Chains A and B, each alone.
Chain A
Amino acid sequence: MEQTVSRRDFLKLGGAAAGALAVGSFVPPRVAQAALEAGHLNAQGDGYIPSVCEMCVWRCGLLAKVKDGRVVKLDGNPDHPHSKGKLCPRGQAGIMTTYDPDRVLTPLIRVGSRGEGKFRKASWEEALDIVAQKMLEIREKYGSEAMVFSSTHNLSQVQFENFLQAFGSPNYGTQRSLCFNAMIVSNLMTYGMEEPARNYDNLQYIIYTGRNLAEAISNSETGEMIAAIDRGAKMVCLDPRFTKTAAKATDWLPIRPGTDLAFHLALINVIIEERLYNQAFVEAYTTGFDELAASTKPYTPDWAAERTDVPAETIARIGREFAAAAPFALAHNGWRTSNFVNSFQAERAITILNALVGNWGTSMVHAGGEEGGGLGKPPQPPYPRISAQRLDGVPWMYPFVPLKIGVFQQLRDSIIDENPYKAHGWFISRQNPVLSLPDRKKTLAAMASMDFIATVDVILNDTAWFSDVVLPEASYLERYDPLAVVGDKAYIRQPVIEPQGEAKSALWIYKELGSRLGMSEFFQYADEEDYIKQQLAPLGASFDSLRSQGYVELPGEAGDQFQWQTPSGKIELKSSTLESAGFAAIPTWSEPPAPAEGQFYLLTGKGARQTQFGTQNNQLLHKYDDEPRLWMNAKTAKAQGLRDGDMVQVASEVGSIYVRLLATEAIRPDCVYMMPGFGHLSMGLTTAYGLGSSDSDLHVTYTDPISGGQALTQTFVTVQKA
Chain B
Amino acid sequence: MKIDIAVPSRLYHFRPNPLPVILVALMAIGLAVAMVRFASGIGAISNLSNTYPWGFWISFDIYTGIAISSGAFLLAAAVYIFEIRSLRPLLMPTILTALLGYFMEVLALMVDLGRPERIFNMLFYQNFTSWMLVVGLCVMIYLAILAVEIAPIFLRGLKQDKWAHFARRFIKPAVILGVVVSTIHQGSLGALLLIQSAKLHPLWWTPLLPVMFFVSSISIGLAMVIFESSMTSRYFKSHHLEIKLLAKVAGAIPYAVGIYAVLRFAQLFLSGNSQYLFSSGLMSVLFWVEIVIGVVVPFILFISPRNRADPRTLLIGAIILLVGMVLNRFNVSWFGIHRLQEVGYVPSLAEISISLAIFSFGILAFGLGARYLPLFEDSDAIAERA
Direct A/B contact, Cβ within 8 angstroms: yes
A residues near B (Cβ < 8 Å) are 6, 8-11
**Binary CB contact string for chain B from 313 to 347 against chain A (1 if under 8 A, 0 otherwise):** 00000000000000000000000000011010000
Contact A11 B341 (CB under 8 A): no
Instruction: Compute how far the CA of A8 lies from the CA of B343 in the bound complex, rounded to whole angstroms.
Output: 9
Contact B51 A8 (CB under 8 A): yes
CB distance from A579 to the nearest CB of B (A): 60
| B9 on interface, CB distance cutoff 8 Å | no
Contact B343 A11 (CB under 8 A): no
Contacts of B343 in A (CB 8 A): 8-9
Could you list 8 examples of A-B contacts with CB < 8 Å?
A: A8-B49, A8-B50, A8-B51, A8-B340, A9-B49, A9-B50, A9-B343, A10-B50
Q: How many residues from B make CB contacts under 8 Å with A?
A: 7
Q: Is the interface of A mostly helix, strand, loop or mixed?
A: loop
Contacts of B340 in A (CB 8 A): 8
Contacts of B341 in A (CB 8 A): 6, 8-9
Instruction: Compute how far the CA of A11 lies from the CA of B46 in the bound complex, rounded to whole angstroms.
Output: 12
Contacts of A8 in B (CB 8 A): 49-51, 340-341, 343
Instruction: Compute how far the CA of A8 lies from the CA of B52 in the bound complex, rounded to whole angstroms.
Output: 10
| B43 on interface, CB distance cutoff 8 Å | yes
Q: Is the interface of B mostly helix, strand, loop or mixed?
A: loop
CB distance from A495 to the nearest CB of B (A): 39
Instruction: Compute how far the CA of A59 lies from the CA of B51 in the bound complex, rounded to whole angstroms.
Output: 40
**Interface members, chain B 24-63 (any A CB < 8 Å):** 43, 49-51
CB distance from B348 to the nearest CB of A (A): 13
Name the 9 nearest CB pairs between A and B, nearest first.
A9-B49, A8-B50, A11-B43, A9-B50, A8-B341, A9-B343, A8-B51, A6-B341, A9-B51
Contacts of B49 in A (CB 8 A): 8-9, 11
CB distance from A16 to the nearest CB of B (A): 14
Contacts of B43 in A (CB 8 A): 11
CB distance from B37 to the nearest CB of A (A): 14
Q: Which residue of B lies closest to A8 (CB)?
A: B50
Instruction: Compute how far the CA of A11 lies from the CA of B343 in the bound complex, rounded to whole angstroms.
Output: 13
Q: Which residue of A lies closest to B41 (CB)?
A: A11
**Interface members, chain B 69-91 (any A CB < 8 Å):** none
Contacts of B51 in A (CB 8 A): 8-9
Contacts of A11 in B (CB 8 A): 43, 49
**Interface members, chain B 353-369 (any A CB < 8 Å):** none
Instruction: Compute how far the CA of A10 lies from the CA of B50 in the bound complex, rounded to whole angstroms.
Output: 9
Q: Which residue of B lies closest to A1 (CB)?
A: B342
Contacts of B50 in A (CB 8 A): 8-10
Q: Which residue of B lies closest to A11 (CB)?
A: B43
Instruction: Compute how far the CA of A6 lies from the CA of B339 in the bound complex, rounded to whole angstroms.
Output: 13
Instruction: Compute how far the CA of A489 lies from the CA of B353 in the bound complex, rounded to whole angstroms.
Output: 67
CB distance from B305 to the nearest CB of A (A): 54
Known: A8-B341, A10-B50. 13 other contacts (CB 8 A): A6-B341, A8-B49, A8-B50, A8-B51, A8-B340, A8-B343, A9-B49, A9-B50, A9-B51, A9-B341, A9-B343, A11-B43, A11-B49
Contacts of A6 in B (CB 8 A): 341
**Interface members, chain B 205-235 (any A CB < 8 Å):** none
Q: Which residue, of A6, A9, A10, A11, has the highest number of chain B Cβ atoms within 10 A? A: A9
Contacts of A9 in B (CB 8 A): 49-51, 341, 343
Instruction: Compute how far the CA of A10 lies from the CA of B343 in the bound complex, rounded to whole angstroms.
Output: 12
Instruction: Compute how far the CA of A182 lies from the CA of B43 in the bound complex, rounded to whole angstroms.
Output: 53
Instruction: Compute how far the CA of A477 lies from the CA of B343 in the bound complex, rounded to whole angstroms.
Output: 40
CB distance from B201 to the nearest CB of A (A): 21
CB distance from B19 to the nearest CB of A (A): 38
Instruction: Compute how far the CA of A6 lies from the CA of B49 in the bound complex, rounded to whole angstroms.
Output: 13
CB distance from B40 to the nearest CB of A (A): 12
Instruction: Compute how far the CA of A8 lies from the CA of B345 in the bound complex, rounded to whole angstroms.
Output: 14
CB distance from B71 to the nearest CB of A (A): 39
Q: Which residue of B lies closest to A12 (CB)?
A: B49
Q: Which residue of A lies closest to B343 (CB)?
A: A9
Instruction: Compute how far the CA of A9 lies from the CA of B341 in the bound complex, rounded to whole angstroms.
Output: 9
